[in-house]
Structure 1
Amino acid sequence: MRRTNRRVVITGIGVISPGGIGVKAFWQLLTDGRTATRLITGFDASPFRSRVAAEADFDPAAHGLTPQERRRMDRAAQFAVVAAREAVAGSGIDLSATDPARTGVTVGSAVGCTMSLEREYVVVSDGGRKRLVDHEYAVPHLYDYLVPGSLAAEVAWAVGAEGPAAVVSTGCTSGLDAVGHAVELIREGSADVMVAGATDAPISPITLACFDAIKATTPRNDDPEHASRPFDRTRNGFVLGEGAAVFVLEERDSALRRGARILAEIAGFAARCNAYHMTGLRADGNEMAAAIGAALDEARLDPGAVDYVNAHGSGTRQNDRHETAAVKLALGHHAWDTPMSSIKSMVGHSLGAIGSIEIAACVLAIQHQVVPPTANLHEPDPECDLDYVPVTARDHQTDVVVSVGSGFGGFQSAMVLTS
């Protein structure tokens, strides 16, 4: 369909995060500068190099999921559905009074239903002892775990959406890219309302083994609370996390007509790929800078208008250097005057979900005019010489925010949110 001038706004937010279930608890954690990282409790992680993670204390029954839903859904799907329900309730929208064919869903996820797939493989293979697995031991819902589209289907069923539905999986930029895709669907006229966000529940033995193999996660197991240290000289890898964030996106004029409270506008989005290396990053940050520049162009804003940059800030040595270079390249001299922080220091890196969780943090920063801090930043790296808001949240005029993401495969995404 042809592109229109429709503006897209956020009217509802739902969050499942380590250290904070629900929007209010999530924002309190960030503004307090508390960390939710700890030794893994969900299984015996003693054989692994990295044994720390940011786990969500999530009780699906307490959050309204029925016994059948709990049996059917993977943990990632449970996160997405509960977050979607919070977002819809918070938006005040009556989806039963809207055309269901004009309401869509996009869900970002890097690893889909990993936890259930791994659990079921262990069962059908008798703990990995049988090469030829016995399918008769599998649960009836195994196909849903295998097919990532089940995540979007679960959210669509939960909110009664019958319009476009898709899963976007671009690694660690999935959460940004899924929301960006939803924005485009509204702008082009394919939908009026989108329930969009991302979810991942990757804290499982297979995920730990994968990241151990490339030494991407931190081995700082003796101090879990301070293990995630983006931009710090002593950083040595990221901390795995889990969670979800989901938004209600609407066409602005329609939202105003129904009297909705507009939380933020998504003014620009862009994505690039470095076509360079699966895990490596060029030091100049050119691709991320290009994404930031394109997103600002779409928003019709100059670099000097940016009040805050929500960093990818994973805590790996190459990412933090790459991102620092990219922001300097994109914002020019204004980069040194712009606060920039990483909430991964507090909630870990939930892979595909984190981009949406970071969008939620950006919207709340705009609403409260407060920039969340980078926790555990005590020894600045001389190569990372911007203002990373160390340790303590900061009152700051925050009307234009750029949120960036960087993912394995060379994905680089940027989104501009405005008040």
Structure 2
Amino acid sequence: MAGIGTARRVVITGIGVVAPGGIGTKQYWELLTAGRTATRTISLFDASPFRSRVAAECDFDPVAAGLSRREIRKWDRTTQFAVTAAKEAFADSGILGEAEPHRVGTMVGTACGMTTSLDREYAVVSDEGKTWQVDAEHAVPYLYDYFVPSSMAAEIAWLADAQGPVGIVSTGCTSGIDVLGHAADLIRDDLADVMISGASDAAISPITVACFDAIKATTPRNDDPETASRPFDRSRDGFALGEGAAIFVLEELEHARRRGASIYCEISGHATHSNAHSMTGLRADGRELAESIRAALDQARLDPGDVGYVNAHGSATKQNDKHETQAVKRSLGHHAYSTPMSSIKSMIGHSLGAICSLEVAASALTIEHSVIPPTANLHEPDPDCDLDYVPLVARERRVDSVVSLASGFGGFQSAIVLTKLRIDR
């Protein structure tokens, strides 16, 4: 991995968002800073048979988003989100036509790929699950694209005439951070000047809900969906499923300067570790995530005391919130107690691979606007979670550096560091 000390630095010059409660970056930021929640009873399908019937759905109209009827018919909801967010990122950065096509790459993250379409089409070819011998005659012609998530990256690359590196990163719930770290490395290693990167997931479907029901990871608070996601609260009982996408234009700093691009922040460090022993178990001392935080800060050449805000994974499961709290203490030391930390999953749910990119978008906007989004629904903190989680109300505060965190099934623990651009380096 190329170090941050190399000459090539990576900045964010464009952001596009599709999120629960807000399509577009402006609406998304307004929802977060207002502390509003977008969790509700699932409406995308009949969820009455399931234990958890709460999710944060996107009020997404593909026609209003400018997609053609052919695109709507062909693309899974995940791809529709990703393309819509990418278009906003292109417009925000003004990058189209400003870079050599072979120096522009595309790298997209996803945990579940085209779950919605695969779930729907399996029901069709199996006659609602009545037969093991599925009938391919009833399959849509786009089924192959649904099986191969790289089709999503290809669609975005074609849209931007991006002829450089292209690919998919799928590391579960850390995908949205890891894909940005990988894309940034491609720029640092001089394999691209521009990377279109981010993550998308639209997995609010029967199969996904059933899987999380089986391990009791999601909240059963069906009678109060608006406050069902309660990170760090004593009463938390699991996460609320979500969906969405955030796509960024990442650019080599001098390339961005030459064309006069506006810069949100710099991607200064990224690290990921595996606990290599459990699919879902987390050590109480937070050691694995702490290692990622320290490695990312080292790459960014920051001391623990330089961190101005921690954007938490904050999934609202009993295990994760304690693990993450200990990891921040372990990596930041005494500074952890004076560092604001919040979880936006309290407002937009947990969109699996996409959520980390949505959290990076929130982190970049925190630096841009000097406002820290709150942790909604945090009324009675767990005594074991004793840091400053910015409860209920957003906080105005200048932030020059953010660490955004993620934990994922498989034992993956990732951290990414964003910093306000410093010209003295």
Question: What TM-score range do you get, normalising by the shorter chain?
Answer: over 0.9
1:155 is displaced (CA, Å) by 1.1
State the alpha-carbon separation in 2 of the partners of residues 158 and 114 from structure 1: 23
Q: Which residue of 2 aligns with 1:416?
A: 417
Q: AA paired with 2:26?
A: K
State the alpha-carbon separation in 1 of the partners of residues 322 and 7 from structure 2: 37
What is the aligned counterpart of 1:92 among 68, 91, 94? 94
Q: Which residue of 2 aligns with 1:8?
A: 10
Is 1:242 aligned to 2:247, yes or no? no
Deviating runs (4+, > 2 A) in structure 1? 1-5, 95-98
Q: Which residue of 2 aligns with 1:109?
A: 110
Q: Which residue of 1 aligns with 2:351?
A: 350
* Residue aligned with 1:359, SS: helix
Q: AA paired with 1:9?
A: V
Question: What are the equivalent positions in structure 2 for 1:394-413 lying under 5 Å apart?
Answer: 394-413=395-414
Question: What are the equivalent positions in structure 2 for 1:190-229 lying under 5 Å apart?
Answer: 190-229=191-230
Q: Which residue of 2 aligns with 1:336?
A: 337
Q: Which residue of 2 aligns with 1:25?
A: 27
What is the aligned counterpart of 2:46 among 44, 47, 51? 44
1:5 is displaced (CA, Å) by 2.4
* Residue aligned with 1:293, SS: helix
Deviations 1:80-125 (A, max 9, x none): 00000000100022x3342111100110000000000010000011
| Closer/same/farther in 2, CA of residues 2 and 12 from structure 1, 3 Å limit | closer
* Residue aligned with 1:173, SS: helix
* Residue aligned with 1:391, SS: coil
State the alpha-carbon separation in 2 of the partners of residues 360 and 70 from structure 1: 26
Q: Which residue of 1 aligns with 2:55?
A: 53
State the alpha-carbon separation in 2 of the partners of residues 302 and 6 from structure 1: 22
State the alpha-carbon separation in 2 of the partners of residues 383 and 200 from structure 1: 32
| Closer/same/farther in 2, CA of residues 394 and 97 from structure 1, 3 Å limit | closer
State the alpha-carbon separation in 1 of the partners of residues 2 and 343 from structure 2: 37
Deviations 1:157-188 (A, max 9, x none): 12111111111000000000001100000000
Contact 2:401 2:417 in 1 (8 A): yes
Contact 1:200 1:351 in 2 (8 A): yes
Q: AA paired with 2:102?
A: A
Deviations 1:14-62 (A, max 9, x none): 0000001100000000000000000000110000000000000000110
Q: Which residue of 1 aligns with 2:270?
A: 269
* Residue aligned with 2:418, SS: strand
Q: Which residue of 1 aligns with 2:68?
A: 66
State the alpha-carbon separation in 2 of the partners of residues 170 and 417 from structure 1: 21
Q: How many residues align?
A: 418
State the alpha-carbon separation in 2 of the partners of residues 115 and 129 from structure 1: 19
Q: AA paired with 1:24?
A: K
State the alpha-carbon separation in 1 of the partners of residues 179 and 348 from structure 2: 20
State the alpha-carbon separation in 1 of the partners of residues 109 and 181 from structure 2: 10
State the alpha-carbon separation in 2 of the partners of residues 2 and 374 from structure 1: 35
Question: What are the equivalent positions in structure 2 for 1:242-261 lying under 5 Å apart?
Answer: 242-261=243-262
Q: AA paired with 2:160?
A: V
* Residue aligned with 1:96, SS: coil
1:2 is displaced (CA, Å) by 7.5
State the alpha-carbon separation in 2 of the partners of residues 2 and 391 from structure 1: 39
Contact 1:96 1:160 in 2 (8 A): no
Q: Which residue of 2 aligns with 1:178?
A: 179
State the alpha-carbon separation in 1 of the partners of residues 99 and 54 from structure 2: 45
Deviations 1:358-383 (A, max 9, x none): 00000000011010000000011000
Is 1:374 aligned to 2:362, yes or no? no
Q: Which residue of 1 aligns with 2:423?
A: none
State the alpha-carbon separation in 1 of the partners of residues 245 and 38 from structure 2: 15
Q: AA paired with 1:8?
A: V
Q: AA paired with 1:6?
A: R
* Residue aligned with 1:269, SS: strand
State the alpha-carbon separation in 1 of the partners of residues 2 and 387 from structure 2: 41
Kindly, what percent of the aligned residue pairs are identical? 69
What 5-or-longer segments of structure 1 have no aligned partner?
none
State the alpha-carbon separation in 2 of the partners of residues 276 and 238 from structure 1: 23
1:397 is displaced (CA, Å) by 1.6
Deviations 1:117-161 (A, max 9, x none): 010000011100111010010000000000111111111112111
State the alpha-carbon separation in 1 of the partners of residues 142 and 388 from structure 2: 48
Calculate the TM-score normalised by the size of structure 1. Answer: 0.99
Q: AA paired with 1:76?
A: T
State the alpha-carbon separation in 2 of the partners of residues 352 and 301 from structure 1: 27
* Residue aligned with 2:97, SS: helix
What 5-or-longer segments of structure 2 have no aligned partner?
421-425
Q: AA paired with 2:175?
A: S
State the alpha-carbon separation in 2 of the partners of residues 402 and 187 from structure 1: 20
State the alpha-carbon separation in 2 of the partners of residues 22 and 306 from structure 1: 28
Question: What are the equivalent positions in structure 2 for 1:78-89 lying under 5 Å apart?
Answer: 78-89=80-91
State the alpha-carbon separation in 2 of the partners of residues 221 and 159 from structure 1: 42
State the alpha-carbon separation in 2 of the partners of residues 41 and 383 from structure 1: 35
State the alpha-carbon separation in 1 of the partners of residues 287 and 143 from structure 2: 42
Q: AA paired with 1:394?
A: R
Contact 2:268 2:417 in 1 (8 A): yes
State the alpha-carbon separation in 1 of the partners of residues 160 and 56 from structure 2: 28
State the alpha-carbon separation in 2 of the partners of residues 340 and 212 from structure 1: 29
Contact 1:74 1:145 in 2 (8 A): yes
